[in-house]
């Protein structure tokens, strides 16, 4: 679990408190005390109802939540890239470039032969 990504879980019933047309992202959820602590990103789940349109910026959205948000007139956008400890937000948004791996050469072991006794 050392490399497991943890997400802050937010249900649609909690998002109903936001005003119509507002942008819901990590900052606004922290300001409303709906999430706290350290986590990789936000995951929106479909428990509850949403009656007005919101712009949601979350890393993950369940299928049920996506359907209810779009039915209410809201939109789902990718979250803005965060700056890393040693770089800028633009660098964090780029996919890491990896060198192409060359196939490992297979070492052929010499066959062992039985030495017969005469």
- In the DSSP assignment, the letter for residue 36 is -
Overall fold of domain 7-81: Ribosomal Protein L15; Chain: K; domain 2 (3.100.10)
Instruction: Provide the 3-class DSSP secondary structure of residue 7.
Output: strand
**pLDDT over threshold 90, residue 54:** yes
Q: With 0-12 CB in 10 A as exposed, 13-18 as middle and 19+ as buried, what is 42? A: buried
Q: What is the mean pLDDT of the chain?
A: 83
Percent of the chain surpassing pLDDT 90: 61
Q: Is the pLDDT of residue 95 over 80?
A: no
Q: What is the mean pLDDT of residues 66-89?
A: 79
* Per-residue tokens: 2: 């050392």
């Amino acid at each position: 679990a050392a490399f497991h990504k943890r997400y802050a879980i937010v249900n649609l019933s909690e998002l109903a408190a936001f005003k119509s047309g507002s942008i819901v992202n990590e900052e606004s959820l922290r300001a409303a005390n709906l999430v706290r602590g350290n986590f990789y990103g936000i995951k929106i789940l479909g428990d509850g109802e949403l009656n007005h349109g919101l712009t949601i910026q979350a890393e993950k959205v369940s299928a049920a939540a996506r359907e209810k948000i779009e039915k209410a007139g809201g939109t789902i956008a990718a979250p803005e890239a965060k700056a890393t400890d040693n770089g800028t937000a633009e660098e964090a948004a780029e996919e890491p470039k990896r060198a192409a791996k060359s196939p490992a050469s297979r070492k052929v072991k010499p066959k062992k032969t039985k030495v017969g006794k005469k």
